[in-house]
Each structure stands twice: as structure tokens, then as C-alpha cells.
């Protein structure tokens, strides 16, 4: 047991602090920054520790000033460096995605009376076993602390999904106004061709991108492709034979027009998803936002060693397509498998380009399904609310 002096209550003590190591570029920090902002919006004093300050600054320009301890959106932003400072722990300590807390902070937590609530926020999964693990407790072998596991998920027996207060109402107002999506795109300087399919693309590097671009260029329908500036924008430029890509650049071939967008904050990204007919997303944060957008989407899951992500992808496809007719679900599964490089029935992965015509044909049905799916998700627990109440929650042992 630590011999440090027990921490005493102070008015400045945060209600909650989150620890985030940036592994999946914007995936981990995207979830943590959005969660921290929402907890602060609900009246909690929140502190966020991040080990990759440059990536945080892309999402939160206030961090770009470089100062440790700056506040933004009601959140205190702190650098998580190798030499960790001695600070008073928050009442609720959230260890995001098993990032492992600094030993000095664990000792400070053990010295507190009462000890802080300690939560390990796990990755989102649709797998069945998540229900049995959500809320379980794990005692620390030395310090007398107990860590509880919170699993986001797609059933009432999980921690649910992250959604901000007012998010769904804002989306309904936006999409309920027939002029709003086009007006929002016009504000970005975009005027898709009449009847064009508007598609956003946020993805990891993909060998099949060039062929898919060719398929889109060949029609039969105009396609307006919107790509946030970053790695995928550079890959897009290369597919068009260009050496680089910058915000505002436009690449055109056949019926395809691709626009490079400035990298944007999370709220604007939500509206981009709301304004599109189809969204390609990756990782976890944009994956959840695409579902709240109530639009058809294609998920590129973060690849894990030995194909561990395959079961996770299949579990979601099974749950998401549960109420879909097979003639709609089959093209969706086929395209998702191709986009994620999974083997088809014949034993080899198909190209996304080969699967695109069938996927395009079922987009009207998928649009209806996406609206029903988003409505069904509203009945799930609210992840921020689950965490905000956690110090008083009853958990499994």
C-alpha cells in the first residue's frame, strides 16, 4: 500500500479524468475527446490526459498553443508524458482502451479516502460475450483498488453508445430540411452535379482504391466524392497521377468528381456525414457517428494481429443486417468483406470495384434501413451517462 499522504477533498479536484494513448490515429482520441466534451457539457469537471499532443491539436485547436493545462470546451487538457506529475486524482478515473495508468497516479488513487471509481473503457463490439463482461470488477493485486470494465455495445446489457444531448434532434432538423444538406455543402464551396451520389471517404490505406475510383468514374451515375485532407487524400491524388493533395483541390474523371476538404472538427464532421448519401468510415469514432447519421455506410475496421478483427466485423454485420432482406443484406456483406480484404466464398478477397454495382443497387433500401437502425439505437444506454453515474453504480463481481 502506498505511504503517500491520503488526498483530501478540494474544490479544484476534477469529477472525472480520462487517460488516452493515441494508437489508431484519430480513433482513440476521437472517442476520448468527444466523451470528455460531453461529460463537461453535463456539468462535470473533466481532465483529459493525452500522450500524442499533435494529434489532439488536429481535433482541438486550443491544444495547438502547446501549453499544458489549457482548457477547451470545459475540459482541462494535460500532456501525458513519461515523467508523470503528482496530481490529485479525480473522483472517477477512466482508463481508455486498457492504456495502463502511470504507477505514481495509481498510488495516489490508493491513498485517497474514499478511493476514486476506476473504469477501464473498452473498445466497442457487437459480439455476444460483451454483455457478460460489461460491469465486471478486477481488484488490483497490491493497492486495494478495484477496476471496473465498461463495454460499449449494441444491447441494453452493455454501456451503450456515445451520443451527445441534443445530437439526434439536431440531425433530424438538418435532414428534415430538404435544402439544408445542399446549403451546407454549398458553404464548403461544393455544388454536386444534379442527381449525383454524394459520398464521404474516411479510410485507412487501401490497395483497391484506384479500381473503385475507376468504377465510379465509369458511371452510370455522377458521383461526388468528399475526402478530408490527410492520408487518404494523398492516396486519392496518387490514383489521379498527382504528386500531392491540398484542401480545395478537385480531381475529375468521367462521372467522378473528388474534392479534398479541409480537416475539420468533430461537429462539422457530423454534418458532413448527415449531408452525404453514403459514408465510408474507419475505426471506432467515425463508425459510431455514421450510425447516428442515419445514412448508409461502409465500415473499415481497424486490423488486428492474426485476423482478430474478423469476428468483430462479422458480429456487427450480423446484428446490423438482422432485419434486412437477404437480397439487400448479401450485397452489403459482400462489399464490406471486399473493402476489409476478407476472403469471399471462393477463397480469395474480391475487389471493391467488382462488388460496387450490386452495392449501389441496394442503396435506396439501405437508406431506409439506416434510418430505422439509428432510431433503434436510441433505446440503448447512453455511454456518457453510464460513466457519469459510475461511482454510484452497482457492478458485477
Domain ranges of the chain: 16-161+381-394, 167-302+309-341+348-379
CA Rg value for the chain: 22
Whole-number Å distance between alpha carbons of 152 and 126: 9
Q: Give pLDDT, residue 388.
A: 87
- The single residue of 28, 88, 122, 249 carrying the catalytic annotation is 28
Q: Which fold has domain 167-302+309-341+348-379?
A: Rossmann fold (3.40.50)
SS percent in the chain: helix, strand, coil, step 5: 40, 15, 45
Active site residue 284: yes
Please provide residue 389's backbone torsions phi and psi, each rounded to the nearest 5 degrees: -95, 0
- The single residue of 164, 249, 284, 285 carrying the catalytic annotation is 284
Burial string for 265-280 (b: 16+ CB within 10 Å, else e) reads ebeebbbbbbbbbbbb
The count of C-alpha atoms lying within 13 angstroms of the C-alpha of 397, restricted to the half-sphere facing its C-beta, is 2
- Number of Cβ within 10 Å of residue 6's Cβ equals 12
Q: Is the separation of the CB atoms in 118 and 107 below 8 Å?
A: no
CATH 3.40.50, domain 16-161+381-394, yes or no: yes
- Number of Cβ within 10 Å of residue 238's Cβ equals 14
Q: Give pLDDT, residue 1.
A: 34
Entry pTM: 0.91
Active site residue 382: no
One digit per residue, pLDDT tens: the chain, 397 residues?
Answer: 333 444 545 557 899 999 999 886 677 899 999 999 999 999 999 999 999 999 999 899 999 887 899 999 999 999 999 999 999 999 999 999 989 999 999 999 999 988 899 999 999 999 999 999 998 989 988 898 999 999 999 999 999 999 999 999 999 999 999 999 999 999 999 999 999 999 999 998 888 999 999 999 998 999 999 999 988 899 999 999 999 999 999 999 999 999 999 988 899 999 999 999 999 999 889 999 999 999 999 999 887 776 778 889 999 999 999 999 999 999 999 999 999 998 876 678 899 999 999 999 999 999 999 999 999 999 999 999 999 887 653 333 3
Instruction: List 7's β-bridge partners, or say none.
Output: none
Task: Report the Cα 148 to chain-centroid distance in Å.
Answer: 22
Instruction: List 343's β-bridge partners, or say none.
Output: 349
Q: Do domains 16-161+381-394 and 167-302+309-341+348-379 have the same CATH topology?
A: yes
Amino acid at each position: 500500500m502506498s505511504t503517500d499522504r491520503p488526498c483530501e477533498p478540494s474544490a479544484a479536484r476534477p469529477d472525472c479524468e480520462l487517460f488516452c494513448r493515441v494508437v489508431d490515429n484519430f480513433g482513440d482520441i476521437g472517442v476520448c475527446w468527444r466523451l470528455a466534451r460531453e461529460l463537461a457539457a453535463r456539468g462535470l469537471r473533466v481532465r483529459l490526459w493525452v500522450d500524442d499532443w499533435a494529434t489532439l491539436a488536429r481535433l482541438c485547436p486550443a491544444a495547438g498553443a502547446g501549453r499544458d493545462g489549457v482548457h477547451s470546451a470545459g475540459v482541462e487538457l494535460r500532456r501525458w508524458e513519461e515523467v508523470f506529475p503528482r496530481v490529485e486524482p479525480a473522483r472517477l478515473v477512466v482508463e481508455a482502451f486498457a492504456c495502463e495508468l502511470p504507477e505514481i497516479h495509481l498510488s495516489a488513487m490508493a491513498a485517497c479516502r474514499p478511493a476514486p471509481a476506476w473504469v477501464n473503457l473498452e473498445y466497442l463490439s457487437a459480439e455476444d460475450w460483451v454483455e457478460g463482461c460489461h460491469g465486471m470488477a478486477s481488484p488490483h493485486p497490491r493497492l486495494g483498488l478495484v477496476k471496473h470494465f465498461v463495454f460499449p455495445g449494441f444491447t441494453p446489457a452493455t454501456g451503450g453508445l456515445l451520443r451527445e444531448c441534443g445530437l439526434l434532434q439536431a440531425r433530424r432538423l438538418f435532414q428534415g430540411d430538404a435544402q439544408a444538406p445542399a446549403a451546407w455543402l454549398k458553404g464548403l464551396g461544393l455544388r454536386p452535379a444534379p442527381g449525383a451520389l454524394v459520398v464521404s471517404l474516411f479510410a485507412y490505406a487501401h490497395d483497391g482504391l484506384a479500381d473503385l475510383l475507376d468504377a465510379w468514374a465509369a458511371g452510370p451515375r455522377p458521383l461526388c466524392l468528399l475526402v478530408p485532407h490527410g492520408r487518404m487524400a494523398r492516396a486519392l491524388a496518387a490514383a489521379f497521377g498527382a504528386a500531392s493533395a491540398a484542401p480545395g483541390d478537385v480531381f475529375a474523371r468521367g462521372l467522378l468528381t473528388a474534392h479534398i476538404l479541409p480537416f475539420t472538427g468533430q461537429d462539422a464532421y457530423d454534418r458532413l456525414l448527415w449531408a452525404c448519401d453514403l459514408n465510408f468510415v474507419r475505426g471506432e469514432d467515425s463508425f459510431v457517428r455514421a450510425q447516428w447519421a442515419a445514412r448508409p455506410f461502409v465500415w473499415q475496421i481497424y486490423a488486428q494481429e492474426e485476423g482478430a478483427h474478423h469476428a468483430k466485423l462479422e458480429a456487427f454485420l450480423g446484428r446490423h443486417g438482422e432485419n434486412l432482406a437477404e437480397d439487400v443484406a448479401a450485397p452489403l456483406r459482400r462489399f464490406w468483406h471486399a473493402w476489409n480484404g476478407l476472403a469471399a466464398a471462393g477463397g480469395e478477397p474480391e475487389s471493391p470495384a467488382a462488388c460496387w454495382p450490386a452495392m449501389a443497387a441496394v442503396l435506396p433500401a439501405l437508406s431506409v434501413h439506416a434510418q430505422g437502425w439509428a432510431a433503434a439505437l436510441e433505446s440503448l444506454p447512453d455511454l456518457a451517462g453510464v460513466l457519469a453515474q459510475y461511482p454510484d453504480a452497482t457492478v458485477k463481481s
